[in-house]
Amino acid sequence: KQEVTQIPAALSVPEGENLVLNCSFTDSAIYNLQWFRQDPGKGLTSLLLIQSSQREQTSGRLNASLDKSSGRSTLYIAASQPGDSATYLCAVRPKGGSQGNLIFGKGTKLSVKP
């Protein structure tokens, strides 16, 4: 059964720092991996989607990488800002399951201090 783990569960950094969030998954048979942001009490905002054939995707200060064979993805945030404070969730779309379904990690709660 596919399991997704995110470490650390919480992270606090000073403003301006570059940081990396980690996501690991147990089964490399995936179609893609998606990173989301969730603000307190809000829905999820899709940040980046990486297809299984891709190594990385970039959007502004965000860069997500995927190493499918080792079951790992990282989300790199450059020059962090207080507005980046949120919970970041990763999710994989596994092969063999029902199309479109996602398996989520529990998230990393990021706090960027001014």
Partner 1 sequence: DGGITQSPKYLFRKEGQNVTLSCEQNLNHDAMYWYRQDPGQGLRLIYYSQIVNDFQKGDIAEGYSVSREKKESFPLTVTSAQKNPTAFYLCASSALAGGTYEQYFGPGTRLTVT
Are 18 and 80 in contact by the 8 Å Cβ rule? The answer is yes
Binding residues for partner 1, how many (CB under 8 A)?
Answer: 25
Binding partner 1 by CB under 8 A: which of 18, 46, 70, 81? 46
Are 6 and 25 in contact by the 8 Å Cβ rule? The answer is no
Are 76 and 64 in contact by the 8 Å Cβ rule? The answer is yes
Rounded to the nearest whole angstrom, what is the least distance from the CB of residue 60 to partner 1 in the complex?
A: 18
Select 24 or 32, whichever has its Cβ closest to partner 1. 32
Binding partner 1 by CB under 8 A: which of 22, 28, 85, 104? 104
Q: Which two tokens stand for residue 50?
A: 């990486």
